[in-house]
Amino acid sequence: MKKQGMLNSHIAEVLSRLGHTDTIVIADCGLPIPDKVKRIDISLKQGDPSFIETIEAILEDMVVEKATLASEIVEENSAVHSLTLQQLGDAEINYVSHEKFKELTKNAKAVIRTGEVTPYANIIFHAGVTFS
């Protein structure tokens, strides 16, 4: 059994295959997931696991250079937006419309679907590197 790090084998596999600038999406349970993008559904019930819990776990195992959020989260879900910014540290943050966000998910290596049930709780992580 793995001692530390990501225990979910599907997520661990995706993270291990990421190259610089590749993207993954952490999504609420309502975000449409394109058919050709790998879906990793970790939702158990409404709210579990939460968007923030999932971000915390991914950030323990992934170098994130940049993050993309839907601009609507600022007004429509300010509490989750604030917690998300706290988690991201020095990562560059970009905002796009929710419609553009859904378009960008088509290029992701995977979408991780959480049990989150608050609006616009979705993020695209752009992989960084451990060296400069």
pLDDT at residue 3, as a whole number: 78
List, for residues 52-103, the tens digit of each pLDDT value.
999 999 999 999 999 999 999 999 999 999 999 999 998 999 999 999 999 9
Would you say residue 112 has pLDDT above 90? yes
- Residue ranges of the domains in the chain? 21-127
Q: Is the pTM of this model over 0.85?
A: yes
What's the confidence (pLDDT) of residue 4? 85
Q: Please give the class, per CATH, of domain 21-127.
A: alpha beta
Give tens-digit pLDDT for 9-50.
Answer: 999 999 999 999 999 999 999 999 999 999 999 999 999 999
User: Among candidates 3, 8, 4, which has minimal Cα distance to 112?
Assistant: 8
Active site residues: 20
Task: Please state the residue numbers annotated as binding site.
Answer: 28, 98, 120-122
Binding residues for substrate: 28, 98, 120-122
Give the mean pLDDT of 109-123. Answer: 98
pLDDT at 2 over 80: no
Say yes or no to pLDDT of 1 above 80. Answer: no
